[in-house]
């Protein structure tokens, strides 16, 4: 099992039908391909974590590079996993109403911007956002 984290410029708004479609269709397709992950949308930025079998994971990453709903895709990091981090989420989703990446980066990383987030910082943030949803502290919609 492997994981990857990328950042891109979102060309859809968090509350838009296009964004909701990304989440719904991705959840169904990820189930079929044995992938799990989590997407955060905030201030024109996507941060996405994906994990699963290497071939399916990298095939998806290749397809995402041609998705017209975002641009300037940058791979923040990737590696091997012993067990999934997001096993409950075929495609988890959050926006700043769950947890703000901008505030997280400012407080946790000495004033770095969301665009400067490292792979580890992105993973910590997404795990925090998913925990808030799992615990019922916040809703993903």
Question: 13-46: per-residue pLDDT in tens?
Answer: 988 899 999 999 999 999 999 999 999 999 999 9
Within 13 A of 59's CA, how many CA atoms are on the CB side?
10
Which CATH number fits the domain that encloses residue 17? 3.30.70.100
Whether 140 is in a domain gets the answer no
Cα separation, 102 vs 94, in Å, equals: 13
Whether 65 is in a domain gets the answer yes
Question: 55-74: per-residue pLDDT in tens?
Answer: 999 999 999 999 999 999 99
Whether 24 is in a domain gets the answer yes
pTM: 0.91
Sequence-distant (6+) residues with CB within 8 A of 77 are: 4, 5, 118, 119, 120
Whether 141 is in a domain gets the answer no
Domain count, the chain: 1
Whether 139 is in a domain gets the answer no
- What per-residue confidence (pLDDT) applies to 25? 92
- What per-residue confidence (pLDDT) applies to 111? 75
Whether 88 is in a domain gets the answer yes
On the question of pLDDT at 138 being above 80, the answer is no
- What per-residue confidence (pLDDT) applies to 140? 65
10 Å Cβ neighbour count for 15?
Answer: 11
Whether 14 is in a domain gets the answer yes
Residue ranges making up the domain that contains 41: 2-134
């Amino acid at each position: 099992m492997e994981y990857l984290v990328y950042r891109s410029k979102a060309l859809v708004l968090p509350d838009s039908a296009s964004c909701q479609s990304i989440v719904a269709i991705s959840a169904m397709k990820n189930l079929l391909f044995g992938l799990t992950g989590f997407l955060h949308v905030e201030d024109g930025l996507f941060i996405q974590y994906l994990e699963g079998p290497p071939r399916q994971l990298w095939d998806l990453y290749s397809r995402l590079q041609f998705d017209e709903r975002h641009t300037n895709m940058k791979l923040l990091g990737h590696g091997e996993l012993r067990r999934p981090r997001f096993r409950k989420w075929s495609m988890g989703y959050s926006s700043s109403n769950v947890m703000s990446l901008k505030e997280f980066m400012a407080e946790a990383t000495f004033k770095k911007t969301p665009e400067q987030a490292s792979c580890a910082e992105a993973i910590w943030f997404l795990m925090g956002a998913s925990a808030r949803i799992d615990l019922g502290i916040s809703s993903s919609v």
